[in-house]
Structure 1
Amino acid sequence: MLMAEAHQAVAFPFLITNEGWDVNVDREVLKLVWRSGLRSWKRQFARFMNNVQNGVYPANLWSLWFFMSIVIIIHYSGYAVPGDLVGTILPCLPGTDLKWQLIGSVLAAVLLWLSVVYLIRYTLKLLFMYKGWMYEARGKSISTKTKAWMALVRLLSSFNRPKLFSLQGSIPKLPLPSLKGTMERYMQSIRPLVDDENYERIQKMATNFEKGIGPKLQRYLVLKSWWSTNYVADWWEEYVYLRARSPLMINSNFYGMDALARHPTKNQAARAASIINACFKFKRMVERQELKPLLIQNSIPLCSSQYERAFNTTRIPGLETDQIVHWKDSNHVVIYHRGRYYKVIVKTNKILNTREIQEQIQQILDDSYKPLPAEEKLGVLTAINRTEWAQIRRSFFNVGVNRNSLDAIEKAAFFVSLDDVPYVPNPEVPEQLNMYGKLLLHGNGYNRWFDKSINVCVSSNGKMGVNCEHSWGDAPIAIQIWEYMVWQEIENRFKENGDAVGEIETTPPPPSRLAWEIKPDVEMKIENAVENAQMLINNLDLHVFAYRQYGKGFIKTCKVSPDAFIQMAIQLAYYRDAGKFSLTYEACMTRLYREGRTETVRPCTVESSSWVKAMENKNTAADERIKLLRIACERHQRNYLDAMCGKGVDRHLFCLYVVSKYLELESPFLQEVLNEPWRLSTSQSPLEQMGFEFKKYPECLGTGGGFGPVDDDGYGVSYIITGENTIFFHISNKKSSKLTDCHRFGKRLREVLNSMQDLFAIHTDTAQQFK
């Protein structure tokens, strides 16, 4: 039987006889080989054409033919082309007859065309460097300068519809802040955190650094900023993510939840099929560059580089540093169910439809194979210390069936977990939401492959979520993919019985179960890893809740930024929880610059602390509290915009620290800065990146996601403003800490938000708006 299968698998079965070679050519297999090669060449040609079109954006190739026609007409009419280019080129050609004059005209047209193209591109790049528009309020107060700038940007961008990476060449580099400016902003940021004595001590250290080795380190950074596309990106990826040795589970990976009010089907196979199909379509849009680049105000582009590694990507463990490996294409996913791993082909000549993928997944659900205990818990190796995982991987997974199976997982487009438990997210039952978040963040420790860029998790009742590795990119990309899934599912992807829509047009390739050879010593390592992972899981506490008293609608009437409003609420809640202020991390994106990722906003400011103290002082009048709140929000918004524009504090100081280590120069100031604990780590989840209007489909609003605490004695706080009347919070902490309790902090936060509403309700101007 095995021999028969082997013979069927080859394209050229042959027999040696006394009459010579008898070769039997299997034409069907040859057709498959031919089609596979044809698809590969089509892909390469499409990528080549995309690169050409991106290289000449904002022009298109049709404009080249127009230029050629004009130049040829001008030349043969007896007039000189501007700059007499044809006359300059002709002496360099073998002849001057009509044929060579035509060739000279074509070359002149190409040169003129390229000159115009790159003039427009670099003009756009210069225009995109201007960030004054960000600091101006929208409406009538916009300056004439900004209006003229916006008109010019829109004019130069209107020649051609951009592809996903078309505008990359026009996005400016991240600017390097001045050393003096960063030092001033840093000292301002720590003022509310330390007493006078410590402030003077740090001030002296900062002054010594600024007058000492600081300028030398800055000069090296200046050289790096000239030479590299982004002076932060590569070092941030390597030293913050890839060199970290802690387990990815809880410490690095983050999760995202499904929409709570929407349950399109309870059929696990159908829902998983719908998600897989949508992800492959999104992946195809990225590969073909059909995805529209994100534009602020429909004009200013955000860097699209992170999309490239969203799929077909795995973080490979190393002894000292990990490596992000991305494959150009992948036609399969790997699905985990009840301890078994299956390779599932999703793209053949085309992407399989949802009904066909459902058929494949149902075969997995119906499979009666029982895995060995070590096989079932194999994924826990991705949840342990990175060096230990690298050693195990190098020793036991580099040959034979283990190598083949590991390749299948690591080269998959993404990883899918079919969980045996239901996700029952009822906002009115906090324990259910908390458990939902925990299941997505860590599962049982071994039913996720934490190294994969994206883990799609589908419960037994059809609810879903994602777990994402962090080094390849940031949460906004994952959220955009989720929004695309929702948009795809809106278009009636399920029948009344819960099955996916459509019919099985061609018999889909059956899932192939991955085989493993696990030796006794590896089994022991897996069992130890399970114990360690369980300790991490047991130590994590998570509180997820929906605040429904108000949302964006009320906050806007307070005439402050919604993000700043919530950050001030978090500051007051933490002060009431801990009795002091804390260094606070808020992530903001720097994708207005090439290869930009994030910068730190420091929400704890002199202004925010003044407002917090006023709220705690019963003798402070409501008008004064509101005044201080608006001042604090304005300061926060200014700091947020500064961080987005490359004038943050932390990335610059981080890079100075890296240079000092390379030069083997010790800096007490940088040591102090880099060792400061982030007791509050916060982040806001964005919405409507796909142009999907949630107002039309409020049931599709997501609940955001969350992450683990950065500090052992700190909180991880994520929030998403879902519409006019709801804010979702995800708060995490470690149970081992005697200082933190996410449930207590959540209670404080709700009380603060209520008191802020009451504050404005008694204020005359705002009260009138609610009568």
Structure 2
Amino acid sequence: MATLSMQHTLPKLPVPSLDETLGKYLRSIEPLTTPEELERSKALAKDFAKPGGLGQILQQRLLDVDRAAPHNWLDDTWWISKAYHEWREPLLVNSNWYILMRNEINHPTEFYPTIENPAFTTFQVKRAAHLAQQLLDYTETLFSQNVAVEKTRAGPICMNQYTQLIGFTRIPQHGCDRLAYTPFPSPSKYIVLIINDQFFKINVYSKDNKRLLDGDLERLFLNAIKQLDHIKASAPVGLLTCDHRDAWTKAREHLVVLDPKNRESLQTIENALFCVTLDSTAEATKADRSDDFADWAKFGMHGHGGHNRWCDKSLNLIFERDGKFVCHGEHSPCDALIPAVIMDIIIRKPTDLNAPSTNAIVDAPQHLAFVTDTTTEEHIKAASVTIETLSKNSDCGIVYFDEYGSDYVKKVVKASPDAYMQMAIQLGYYKQIGQPCATYETASTRQFRNGRTETTRTLSKESFAFCKAMQDPSVKAEERVKLLRAAIAAHQQYQKDAANGKGCDRHLLGLRLCLQPGESHGLFQEPVFTKSASFLLSTSGLFAGDNFVGTGFGAMYPDGYGINYLAGGKTLKFGVESKFESKVTSTKEFGNYLRQALRDMRSTIEQTLPEDQRKIAAKL
């Protein structure tokens, strides 16, 4: 069954009724309001939805938007621009995601410099060539539409995002960025290698159109490394992609006007299938579990000062001198789940240290030169300051918990691991801060054509009651477990509604985007409306992630956390990011509270189990 063969069978994203959305919204704000504030919001919601009221008018306008949309009223009309491209903050830390990949089973412990340049190691080059080739294998499978259609119990789900990854690049523009047009399948036959802030075009097909093998790519990578001694190095233009989007827009415009060679080099990078980086920092990044992998997580998030990155590229494979592998990507074309699935596939086959070659005739790597001047130098200097500020403020870590995992949750608690982990996050935050906050969890809407995401509002009156009970010594274990199960049930119901296109956030966004100049309503102006959508906890789960050390993205707010988690059978991993400047958050402290929350939840559950079941639980 061809990858896109079921697309035409998928329904369009629905437009929920006003009553559904307003009811869900009002329930979600209960833990964030006083009784008086809640009653005021209820009155405003009633006025908004009354016959002939503004809500009814906006709903009809949105239904017309839906009628005009060929696939999906949100994605066709607004989503990428409103969720990503109009946001002008730097992609580094704020938007881009990272995945820390596991080392090889027989990963070397000693690393030998290449003959071509001692800044790089032979295993680094071999592993980079191997995994680039594995990704090219996958790319060919995808482009020939032989990637299997994914399905749930309800049927097939949308595969469109798989067409939005390979070859994609974000282009900075004034006010709102754009994605460079990339047909599917991409016609590109090359990748870009980044070394020492220099860019090289690497053809991955021979002159008679045969795909190159690991050994061929290894030879080409070494050739590019050798060229470093002979070429005239260009300024580190890649740093500009890490800057504020308006600053990068201005710098890019200056580059393309300055010299035609610059547009040629830019377009070569932008049209590449993906980028591969060989990092040459002498001291390898530490991967220390006892320190929550903080050093490596920081490298995944922003690298060594933003060097050797092209943040606009949808997919970057980055290799350190000791062979550690990080995947880093731009978020707007597709959600991070898609590259995570692909990385989980390509990492499985180990590197062949004596990799085969085709010995085909292929062009040597082409250095992509940039012509710069003092203005560009000022732009790069300003970008470096931005990067340093972002990097120093980014408090990253991987909370690694191996006292139990999803096997225990499924077999003993008999609950959804995702919902259970969400409650652990709620409890960890409550332990640290002493109050609840608006919480976002990604819900996939891929059962609909071109579906992306909806918000699952994890915070509920049920989750709040559970957190308070867990911190109250007078509440017995049986009552705590009862409240935990109620919180999990509420979460799962909201998650189900969101996946069915009936969350409240996307609908409310659509209604507000239908407002005409001069129109407004008190419902949207209430402080709790903003507070309930200011997600101090921004969370998203992937899958077991046994091939990943951790994953992560940045916090949405200065006093918040960005949390991406993996529910392994024996191990739970949480990639956490916050800001050092915050007076209320700390990634390390939150990690400690989160671990204690997981321990407290297990202890509480086991207090309610019969003796024989406790013995079984102890083994999991």
2:162 matched residue in structure 1: 307
Distance 2:579 2:617 in 1: 41
Equivalent pair of 1:582/1:604 in contact (CA under 8 Å): yes
Task: Kindly state the Cα deviation for residue 425 of structure 1 after the two structures are TM-superposed.
Answer: 5.8
Query: 2:155 is matched by which residue type in structure 1?
Result: I
Equivalent pair of 2:344/2:547 in contact (CA under 8 Å): no
Distance 2:286 2:327 in 1: 15
Alignment partner of 1:337 is 2:195: yes
**Structure with the higher fraction of residues in helix conformation:** 1
Distance 2:492 2:602 in 1: 20
Distance 1:370 1:249 in 2: 31
Q: Mind listing any 5+ residue stretches in structure 1 that lack a counterpart?
A: 1-161, 689-699
SS of the equivalent of 2:11 reads: coil
1:712 matched residue in structure 2: 558
Query: 2:14 is matched by which residue type in structure 1?
Result: P
The equivalences for 1:636-655 within 5 A come to 636-655=491-510
Alignment partner of 1:246 is 2:93: no
SS of the equivalent of 1:594 reads: coil
SS of the equivalent of 1:172 reads: coil
Task: Kindly state the Cα deviation for residue 668 of structure 1 after the two structures are TM-superposed.
Answer: 3.1
Once the two structures are superposed, residues 207-245 of structure 1 have per-residue CA deviations (whole angstroms, 9 ceiling, x without a partner) of 222223111000111122233121111311111111111
1:288 matched residue in structure 2: 144
1:325 matched residue in structure 2: 180
Task: Kindly state the Cα deviation for residue 451 of structure 1 after the two structures are TM-superposed.
Answer: 0.6
Equivalent pair of 2:563/2:575 in contact (CA under 8 Å): yes
1:257 matched residue in structure 2: 100
Alignment partner of 1:764 is 2:609: yes
1:230 matched residue in structure 2: 72
Task: Kindly state the Cα deviation for residue 372 of structure 1 after the two structures are TM-superposed.
Answer: 7.3
1:43 matched residue in structure 2: none
Task: Kindly state the Cα deviation for residue 770 of structure 1 after the two structures are TM-superposed.
Answer: 3.2
Task: Kindly state the Cα deviation for residue 664 of structure 1 after the two structures are TM-superposed.
Answer: 4.4
Query: 2:63 is matched by which residue type in structure 1?
Result: V
Distance 1:372 1:618 in 2: 69
Distance 1:193 1:464 in 2: 42
Match of 1:386 among 212, 231, 245: 245
Task: Kindly state the Cα deviation for residue 262 of structure 1 after the two structures are TM-superposed.
Answer: 3.6
Query: 2:245 is matched by which residue type in structure 1?
Result: R
2:115 matched residue in structure 1: none
User: Structure 1 residues 522 and 659, CA, compared in 2 at 3 Å: closer, same or farther?
Assistant: same
Once the two structures are superposed, residues 258-309 of structure 1 have per-residue CA deviations (whole angstroms, 9 ceiling, x without a partner) of 0257455660111111121122222222221111111124x71110111112
Task: Kindly state the Cα deviation for residue 371 of structure 1 after the two structures are TM-superposed.
Answer: 7.6
SS of the equivalent of 2:574 reads: strand
Between 1:219-228 and 1:556-565, the stretch displaced more is 219-228
Equivalent pair of 1:264/1:494 in contact (CA under 8 Å): no
Task: Kindly state the Cα deviation for residue 356 of structure 1 after the two structures are TM-superposed.
Answer: 0.5
Equivalent pair of 2:235/2:372 in contact (CA under 8 Å): no
Task: Kindly state the Cα deviation for residue 201 of structure 1 after the two structures are TM-superposed.
Answer: 2.5
Distance 1:472 1:735 in 2: 30
Alignment partner of 1:551 is 2:405: yes
2:296 matched residue in structure 1: 436
User: Structure 1 residues 243 and 608, CA, compared in 2 at 3 Å: closer, same or farther?
Assistant: same
Query: 2:538 is matched by which residue type in structure 1?
Result: S
1:513 matched residue in structure 2: 367
2:421 matched residue in structure 1: 566
The equivalences for 1:365-444 within 5 A come to 365-369=225-229, 375-398=234-257, 399-421=259-281, 426=287, 428-430=289-291, 433-443=293-303, 444=305
Distance 1:284 1:512 in 2: 23
1:42 matched residue in structure 2: none
Match of 1:447 among 281, 300, 308: 308
RMSD of aligned alpha carbons? 1.9
Task: Kindly state the Cα deviation for residue 430 of structure 1 after the two structures are TM-superposed.
Answer: 1.7
Query: 1:738 is matched by which residue type in structure 2?
Result: K
Equivalent pair of 2:287/2:296 in contact (CA under 8 Å): no
Distance 1:626 1:534 in 2: 46
Match of 1:535 among 382, 389, 398: 389
Query: 1:737 is matched by which residue type in structure 2?
Result: S
SS of the equivalent of 1:683 reads: strand
Give aligned pairs, total: 587
Task: Kindly state the Cα deviation for residue 640 of structure 1 after the two structures are TM-superposed.
Answer: 0.7
1:127 matched residue in structure 2: none
SS of the equivalent of 2:289 reads: coil
1:210 matched residue in structure 2: 49
Distance 1:574 1:712 in 2: 15
1:632 matched residue in structure 2: 487
Task: Kindly state the Cα deviation for residue 571 of structure 1 after the two structures are TM-superposed.
Answer: 0.7
Query: 1:678 is matched by which residue type in structure 2?
Result: F
TM-score (norm: length of structure 1): 0.74
1:721 matched residue in structure 2: 567
Alignment partner of 1:364 is 2:224: yes
Equivalent pair of 1:260/1:426 in contact (CA under 8 Å): no
Distance 1:479 1:370 in 2: 38
Task: Kindly state the Cα deviation for residue 741 of structure 1 after the two structures are TM-superposed.
Answer: 0.6
Match of 2:453 among 576, 592, 598: 598
User: Structure 1 residues 423 and 681, CA, compared in 2 at 3 Å: closer, same or farther?
Assistant: farther
Alignment partner of 1:274 is 2:130: yes
Match of 2:543 among 686, 690, 706: 686
Distance 2:517 2:315 in 1: 37
Distance 2:434 2:262 in 1: 53
Larger Rg: 1
Equivalent pair of 1:607/1:632 in contact (CA under 8 Å): yes
Equivalent pair of 1:446/1:530 in contact (CA under 8 Å): no
Equivalent pair of 2:97/2:330 in contact (CA under 8 Å): yes
Distance 2:443 2:170 in 1: 24
Distance 1:372 1:450 in 2: 24
Query: 1:446 is matched by which residue type in structure 2?
Result: H
Once the two structures are superposed, residues 373-421 of structure 1 have per-residue CA deviations (whole angstroms, 9 ceiling, x without a partner) of 8x34211111112122112212222442111111111111111211114
Task: Kindly state the Cα deviation for residue 674 of structure 1 after the two structures are TM-superposed.
Answer: 4.8
User: Structure 1 residues 518 and 753, CA, compared in 2 at 3 Å: closer, same or farther?
Assistant: same
Equivalent pair of 1:685/1:704 in contact (CA under 8 Å): no
Equivalent pair of 1:542/1:730 in contact (CA under 8 Å): yes
Equivalent pair of 1:654/1:674 in contact (CA under 8 Å): no
Task: Kindly state the Cα deviation for residue 479 of structure 1 after the two structures are TM-superposed.
Answer: 0.7
Equivalent pair of 1:313/1:453 in contact (CA under 8 Å): yes
Task: Kindly state the Cα deviation for residue 450 of structure 1 after the two structures are TM-superposed.
Answer: 0.5
Equivalent pair of 1:269/1:358 in contact (CA under 8 Å): yes
User: Structure 1 residues 604 and 231, CA, compared in 2 at 3 Å: closer, same or farther?
Assistant: same
SS of the equivalent of 1:350 reads: coil
Task: Kindly state the Cα deviation for residue 474 of structure 1 after the two structures are TM-superposed.
Answer: 0.3
Distance 1:263 1:385 in 2: 41
Once the two structures are superposed, residues 453-511 of structure 1 have per-residue CA deviations (whole angstroms, 9 ceiling, x without a partner) of 11111111112111110110001111111022123x25xx413xxx4x21343243211
Distance 1:747 1:188 in 2: 31
Equivalent pair of 1:337/1:417 in contact (CA under 8 Å): yes
SS of the equivalent of 1:313 reads: coil
The share of aligned pairs that are identical, in percent, is: 32
Distance 1:268 1:543 in 2: 24
SS of the equivalent of 1:737 reads: coil
Task: Kindly state the Cα deviation for residue 686 of structure 1 after the two structures are TM-superposed.
Answer: 2.5
Once the two structures are superposed, residues 36-68 of structure 1 have per-residue CA deviations (whole angstroms, 9 ceiling, x without a partner) of xxxxxxxxxxxxxxxxxxxxxxxxxxxxxxxxx
Distance 2:267 2:181 in 1: 12
User: Structure 1 residues 392 and 427, CA, compared in 2 at 3 Å: closer, same or farther?
Assistant: closer
Higher relative contact order (CA 8 A, sep 6+): 2
Task: Kindly state the Cα deviation for residue 427 of structure 1 after the two structures are TM-superposed.
Answer: 5.1
Query: 2:227 is matched by which residue type in structure 1?
Result: D
Equivalent pair of 2:288/2:295 in contact (CA under 8 Å): no
Query: 1:206 is matched by which residue type in structure 2?
Result: A
